[in-house]
A = this chain, B = another copy of it.
Amino acid sequence: MGGRSPPPVREYPYLLPSLRNLMTDLLSTVEARLGSHLLTSAVPSDVLSFQNPSGTSAGAIDIRSGSPDSPIYFILESWLHCELPTGALNIATLLATLNTSTDAPHLICELIQSSPTSLLLFLDLFPRRDLVLHPDYLDEFYHQTNLEKPRQELAKLPQVQPYFFSSLYLRCLVSPTVNLVLINVGGSEGDSAMEDIIRGPVRSTCKEIVEIWLDKCANSRKQLGDAERADLITRDDMIISKSIEVDLVQNLPRMFGPDVADRVVREIQKAFRRQENNG
């Protein structure tokens, strides 16, 4: 990763201390459990961290593919930081995807802070089946794992309100137990109230759901027929490409200019295509 500036992904230089601790903790948990399944990163240093020409935007992305005999497709970790006239925008993302040795859900955890008093949390297990046609899948990964409990506990806090993606397509990708909330803390207490809610309920919700994914999904194996496998690949391609497109591909040019954005997007798509060839 060299001595380049800005620092690489796991340093999260611009995040609130509580968010930085949370993200490094989640990454450590995931990597400790998946360690032997993950290949060394092949992301070049000018994508591991990057900034725009004027230095007002910075970012870091790392992608690690799963080993061929593992159920891991790839893990994407990233942070983006941007100085805006209205304040700083910070986005931290962990996307952990599985290959077709299972149909278990992918994991998405995204934290977006656009002001010291507000935080958007998007935390979900992306379903890889059409849940209308597969109530057994809904039962296995969403009922039996009791994902509704942490969702309800977070949702009942007075600072928490439901959030709706402006993209209708993104709304279709999420599960019925998605945590998709905007957290607003009072103006006068500001940073410390936000730190408290992150260290408390946000942290425990994230950790609980990442543990459920590690226990019930990341170890899962399922023998799929050829047609089922083909359906799964089609659906995965839509889910991953669209979620990356809406989230990263659309924001990067605005934040970093076309040259940096092209370089980063190309690297993401390379990792994605390499995996597609592996099936």
Are B235 and A133 touching (Cβ within 8 A)? Answer: yes
What is the number of residues of chain A that contact chain B, defined by CB distance less than 8 Å?
22
A132 within 8 A of B: yes
- How far is it, in angstroms, between the C-alpha of A171 and the C-alpha of B143 when the chains are bound? 13
Q: A234 contacts the other chain (Cβ, under 8 Å)?
A: yes
A238 touching B133 by the CB < 8 A rule?
yes
* Copies of this polypeptide in the complex: 2
Instruction: Answer whether residue A212 sits at the interface, using C-beta atoms and an 8 A cutoff.
Output: no
Q: Contacts of A133 on B, CB cut-off 8 Å? A: 130, 234-235, 238
| CB neighbours of A234 from chain B (8 A) | 133
* Cβ contact within 8 Å between B132 and A172: yes
Which B residues lie within 8 Å of A239 (CB)? 132
Interface residues of A in 117-157 (CB under 8 A from B): 130-133, 135, 138, 142-143, 148
CA distance A169 to B168 in the complex (A): 19
Q: Assess the B238–A168 pair: CB atoms within 8 A.
A: no
**Contacts of A172 on B, CB cut-off 8 Å?**
131-132, 138, 176
Interface residues of A (CB under 8 A from B): 130-133, 135, 138, 142-143, 148, 162, 168-169, 171-173, 176-177, 234-235, 238-239, 242
- Can you spell out 12 A-B residue pairs with CB atoms less than 8 angstroms apart? A130-B130, A130-B133, A131-B169, A131-B172, A132-B173, A133-B238, A135-B169, A142-B168, A143-B168, A148-B168, A171-B176, A172-B176
